Structure formats: structure tokens, C-alpha cells
Structure 1
Amino acid sequence: MTPFHHPWGQLALQRWPRRRNETLQAWDNADLYLLNTLAERGLPVSEADEAAKAGATTLVLNDQQGALALALQQAASAGGAVVESSGDSFMAQAAALANGEDNSLQGIRFLWPFDALGQTPDQVIMRVPKSVALLEWQLHWLSQHLPQGVPVWLAGMDKHLPRQLVSLLQRYLGNGRAEYGWKKARLFSAQTPGQVLADTSYPSKVEAGDWQLTVHAGVFAQQQLDIGARFFLDHLPQSLAAGSRVVDLGCGNGVIGLAALQASPSAEMTFCDESWLALESARDNVSRYFPEAQCQFHHGDGLLGLENDFDCILLNPPFHDGHVVGDHVARRLFNQAARALAPGGELRVIGNRHLGYHKVLSRRFGSVTVLGSNAKFVVWRCQDPVQSGAKAG
């Protein structure tokens, strides 16, 4: 747990999901720079005039672990101001909720994309997302839904910022500038135009055989089907028994689950993703091509919160968690799959050859078989879970 000292107090913050011996802290200098600037410039959340502060609403976008929303909630609590937090990530919201509970902070209203705002915000506080597509879509959304003149503040670490950020602000908001840098972080400022100045190309369309898939902003493989998914499609199970319970885990646009439904129309398919916009993409594509299929859509941390005993789990795991690269997400999903399989069930997983997933999988499953490989990817069938090797979440 890392103490986070900000202009209005202190927070004890942890990353989510919580891991033993965590080496990464739950906030960075971009969070602190943004909050310091708000305090120094006297924006609505820190107005000395209590009457002005009482009705102030701050919209926070893309908060990573709750550092921004919770700090603003501490600042707002005495004066009755309102904090609303919106983003695409279930894990980010889970982190904010857990950290809020640890710090006895409540009252933040969480919104998913397309949800209606409670009231027009007096300011927008925004972490620059990793996906430029998501950034463009959010800027377009602000121009479409907010009146003219609402201040918009964006922050990010220098190494993660897109080079065209100022030009994107000017394109979608009609204004925008870079502020000074501080400790490898940078701030940007703009105001909403009160009208749509430029359209976006999102959601985009991606060709996948006979299908034209909807892909919402920020979802992986924005312009074309990724090569890993293409290879995985050639190694999916065929003709599963009627009523088989199948999961497309980390579904993205849903193409893997759609292909499984095409091969086994009577399967009971579940699409899972921690990205709200990914699930919305999968939902759109299922409704277009398999409107009669028995499907459910689970927004959460992998399989957690679902009933177990799946006959087949299909997984193309990410090896990026935001800007963090590693296999910790894949390991967590392997563990969940090992606990969730029905007797005789199987996990089919694809991975980049260099990641060496077979070593991890062999500790969690009694049977790990290579179904296909090429110079870049390997597909495994994993059966007979070893429960003692699947304790970690």
C-alpha cells in the first residue's frame, strides 16, 4: 500500500487486483500534477466560496486506480460537490471502489460509456488513455454532450502520450494547448466547444470472412482482424455437444465466440471482458449474426462472478495491462479457467511463442497438448486441472 499525498489530504492506495509483493504503485506523477494544478488555479472543486463549490460537479475520465476521483472526493466532501467517474475498464472501477472503501470514501457516481451524466459537469479531468481511438471518441463525446466553455484538463506521463495530442484537441474541441511538464508528466488544457466540430470513424468495421464486425473505440484490433485471432480461428473446437457451456474469455469484438457459435449453434455462449466497449462490440455482432443464440455477456474480472463448470473456455490472453507489459493477466486467467472447467472440459489458449505459456499451463493442467503452431503463435488444449496449482486469483 502506497501513501498518496495530494493537495486535500492523503490516501492509502493499492493496485487492483491486489497481489502479494506488488512492485507497482497505484498512482503516478501525472495524477499528482493534475491535482496540484487544480488546487493552485482554484477550479470549482477547490473554490473558497462555499456557495460556488456546493453545486460543482467534476467528471473524471479514465481514472486508473481511483487516485483522481478519490482525491477530488476528499476535496468535495466538505462542500457538497459531486464527483462522477467514467471509463471503459471494470478493473479500474474495482480498484476505485476497493480503495474508496479502504479510505472510507463514498459518493462517487460511476458511469459506463453511453450512460447519461447526472448533471452537466463544471470541469472534466481526464487521464489520457493508451488507445488514441478511445481518446478521439471521448473528445468527440465531450463536444457532443457538453455546453460551450467547460474546462477540460488532461494529463499523462511523457513516455505514454501520443505526439498528436494537441492537434486532436484542436480537431475535436477547437482549442487546446500543452502546459509545462513536471517530473516526466505533462498537462494539457482545453474547453468544450458546445458543438460537434469533427466526426469520428468509431465504431469501426472489421472484415472477418463473411462477417463485418463492429469494433468500438479502444477495442483491440481497430482496423483489421489481428493475426493471432486469425490463427486461433483455425484451431477452435468443431461440433460441440448440444447445450455445451462455452466461454470466449477476453472476447474483444467477439470473433472467437462467433466462430464457435457458427460451428456449434446450440452452445450456450458467454462473452467475457473487462472492457465495457469490447462487450458492447461483441453484443452488437452477436445480435447481427446470431440473434437467436443463447448468449450472456459478463463485464468483470475474467470468470469471477460466473457459475463454474464450463465445457470449453477459449482464451487469447493479453500481455499488456494498460501500459504495463507482463504475463500476470494471463496467469490470473489461467488460474480462473482451471477452477471453472467442468469434468472433461478443456481450455484452448493461444499465445505468442516467445511468451512460453506452456510452462505455466503445465503447472495448472495435467494435460497440455499443442494443437497448432507457426513461427509466431502456439495453440494449446489444456485439460485435467490441477487444483493445487490454481490457488491464486
Structure 2
Amino acid sequence: MTTFEHPWGQLTLQRWPLRRNEPLQAWDNADLYLLNTLKARAAGPLTLVVNDQQGALALAASQHGPVISSGDSFLASRAQVHNCDLNGLPEQGAPLWPFDNLPESPDQVIMRVPKSLALLEWQLQWLSEQLARGTPVWLAGMDKHLPRQLVPLMQQYLGNGRAELGWKKARLFTASAPGERLAVAPYPTEVEGPMGPLTVHAGVFAQQQLDIGARFFLAHIPSNLPPGAKVADLGCGNGVIGLALLQACPDSHLVFCDESWLALQSARDNVARYCPESDSEFYLGDGLAGHDERFDLILLNPPFHDGHVVGDHVARRLFRQSKQALNVGGELRVIGNRHLGYHKLLGKLFGKVEVLGSNQKFVVWRCM
């Protein structure tokens, strides 16, 4: 828990999901740079906040005027709700997910530069279509995370853009909206999967080709589940693993789960293309948290990146959720890079952990 001093006061902020002895604070100097800019240059009261990470931007900007918040991450939206409650602030309203239209025209935009260059392109195109001509757009990020192509991309999609001075290892970029679409972002892309081309929306993992981990995992998907078996594709991405299960066991009930709205939309599109009659559902959330169903099989290819943060904390959380969500006799099948040593974590949770397959880079475990 940290105290965030911003131009209109202070907030108590926590990173979410909560974890013990959290080493990271819930804001950084890029957030503060954007808020200082908002105070100094605001064109009016209504602010559109894009890619808020833990609620620092939206909650502080709400002290200036009304806020609309937009992004792709369920976890980020939930962090905002948590920190809103923590500070006794009124609810900010439901977030705008990708493809949503703005309910009204904002006076200015403050935007964190996302990690994914594809998501950045898509969002710049979205802003060009959604904003009134001349609306100021301010982007910021920490120097070590900024793409070199940022200004050229702003100029391509907004028609203008420039870098401003750096401040405390953060940098601000400014532009104004053109009021029309100037360029078309090349998303969604398609990658070749075992069943044919797969739709991959902007920012979803493996944008240009099916990743090698998923390819290896596909060889270890069961093909003999009983009819009606309940299966979760946890952290589904474009849905290729769950689709392979549906093709092998078409009578299964499959829940595709992800915290990315665009990942889940990719899975929806691909299921509609290849398994339109399947018994499938799509769950946007923190893994399986809040989902009441229990499963006979959970398939998991856990990420080891959480934004720009590298670590096993996401995998640990998903392993615990999987243990709690399995039926008696159910199993978790999980793939991981060999060097990550997930078998040590899994062995603390499951009574039986066995290797189903391995190569020089990956291991697939069966956990019961």
C-alpha cells in the first residue's frame, strides 16, 4: 500500500490482485507526468483515460472532472474498483472495452503507452475515429519501456505527434485528434493453426505466428474425455488449445478464460469459425476467480510476464485457482519453460505431478 501524491491531493493505492509483501507500487512517474499535464493544459472537465494500470490515473483525474476509462485488461479495471473503494470515492462507472463507442466526446485524453505495439496502433486508430477534431491526446510511459516507433505511429494514425521533455525517467508525447480515420491498423491478424487460420486481435500473444509452446502443448491434449466433461482453457489467448480439445472431444463443455478482452474476442471468433455448435462459454476475469463452476480438466499455458513485470506470481495464482476449481479426480495439464521449474510449485499443491512430455525448452505436467 502506497500514498500517491497527485496534483489535486493524495490517494492510498494498492496493486491488484493483492499479494503479500508486494514489492511494487501501484503508480509511477509516467502516471504523475500525465496528471501534471492534465492540470496544466486541460481543455475542459471530461477526461478519457486509456490503459490505466492500477487506477492512479482515473481516480486522480476524477478530482479534476468526470472520467471515462478504457482499456483491454480486466485486472486493471478491477484494480481501479478496488482502489476506488479503498479511498471511499464514488464509483467511476463501467469501463469501455475495445470496440465500444465513446458515450460523449471528451475534452482531452491521457494515455499510458501499452507494452504491445499492436495494441498501441489499434488504439491510436480507435482514437482517430472516436475523438472530435483537435482534442488533445497526451501519452506517457517510462523511458525503458517506450517503443522507438511511437512518434511515427502517432503521426501515421493521428496526423501529428511529438516527444516532449523527459521527467524523472518518464516521457510525455503530445498530439491532437484528426477527427477522422487516417490509417487502418493491420489488426486482427491471422496465424496458421492446426485447424486452419486463427484470428488474433491486437495485443494478443503470438500476433504473427502460433507460439512454439502452444504447438508443443497441442500434442498433449486428451482425446478420450467422456461426453459432457467440463473443461477450462485458462489464459486462453486466441483459443487454440481449447479449440483442439473441442475438435478431439466435441461433446465437452468448454470455458475459455482470459483477463484480456481482445484475447477472449479472438477465442470467440475462432470458436464461431471452427466449432459453432460447441457447448462453449467465455469468461472475462482474474483467471477462474469468481467462476463457480468446477472442472474435470483445466488446460493452462501460464504467462510469466505481467505487463512489463517478469515473475511467477501470475502462474502461482492460476495454479492455486486450478487446485480449488477441480472436481474430485480432475486434473490440471500445464506447460512451462523448463527453466521456470514449475514442478516445484505444483508439487506443493497437488498430490501427484507427472511429466507427460518434454523437449529441450518445454515441459508438460499432469497434476492431480
TM-score (norm 2): 0.98
* Corresponding residue of 2:46: 57
> Structure 1, residues 150-194: CA drift from partner, whole Å, max 9, x if none?
100000000000011000000111100000000100000001111
Q: Which residue of 2 aligns with 1:269?
A: 254
Secondary structure of residue in 2 paired with 1:171: helix
Q: Which amino acid aligns with 1:239?
A: N
C-alpha separation between the residues in 1 aligned to 2:194 and 2:221?
15
Aligned position for 1:388 = none
Provide the residue aligned with 1:278 in structure 2: 263
The residue that corresponds to 1:114 in the other structure is 99
Is residue 166 of structure 2 the alignment partner of residue 177 of structure 1? Answer: no
Task: Work out the CA distance in 2 between the residues paired with 1:168 and 1:337.
Answer: 40
CA contact (8 A) 1:308 1:342 kept: no
Structure 2 partner of 1:332: 317
1:290 aligns to 2:275 (yes or no): yes
| Other-structure match for 2:81 | 97
User: How many Å separate the matches in 1 of 2:327 and 2:107?
Assistant: 51
CA positional deviation for 1:147: 2.1
Question: Please, which of 47, 71, 77 is the counterpart of residue 60 of structure 2?
Answer: 71
Secondary structure, counterpart of 1:305 in structure 2:
coil
Aligned to 2:152: 167
Give 1:318 deviation, angstroms. 0.1
Partner of 2:294: 309
1:199 deviates by 1.0
Q: Residues 42-53 of structure 1 correspond to what in structure 2 (within 5 A)? A: 43-44=42-43, 53=44
Aligned length: 367
Q: Which runs of 4+ in 1 moved over 4 A?
A: none
- What's the secondary structure of 1:350's corresponding residue? strand
Give me the whole-angstrom Cα distance separating, in 2, the residues matched to 1:239 and 1:188: 54
How far did residue 225 of structure 1 move?
A: 0.2
Contact kept? 1:202, 1:217, Cα under 8 Å: yes
Separation in structure 1 between the aligned mates of residue 347 and residue 288 of structure 2, nearest angstrom: 20
Structure 1 residue runs of 5 or longer lacking an equivalent are: 45-52, 77-81, 384-393
1:228-377 to structure 2, matched below 5 A, reads 228-377=213-362
Maintained 8 Å contact 2:102/2:130: no
CA contact (8 A) 2:81 2:91 kept: no
Q: CA RMSD, aligned part only?
A: 0.9
Q: Please give the TM-score of this superposition, normalised by the length of structure 1.
A: 0.92
TM superposition shift of 1:239: 2.0
1:79 matched to which residue of 2? Answer: none
In 2, Cα distance between equivalents of 1:235 and 1:196: 45
State the alpha-carbon separation in 2 of the partners of residues 167 and 358 from structure 1.
45
Task: Confirm or deny that 1:220 pairs with 2:209.
Answer: no
1:297 is paired with a residue of what secondary structure?
strand
Cα deviation, 1:101-149, whole Å, max 9, x if unaligned, reads 1112224231111122110111111000000000000001111222211
Amino acid at match of 2:21: N
Contact conserved, 1:149 with 1:194, CA < 8 A, in 2?
A: yes
- Report the Cα offset of residue 65 of structure 1: 0.1
Q: Which runs of 5+ in 2 are unaligned?
A: none
- Cα displacement string for residues 32-88 of structure 1 (whole angstroms, at most 9, x for unaligned residues): 1111122123x13xxxxxxxx5xx321100000000000011222xxxxx2000100
Partner in structure 1 of residue 123 of structure 2: 138
Q: Which amino acid aligns with 2:216?
A: F
Cross-structure match for 1:34? 34
Describe the SS at the equivalent of 1:74: coil
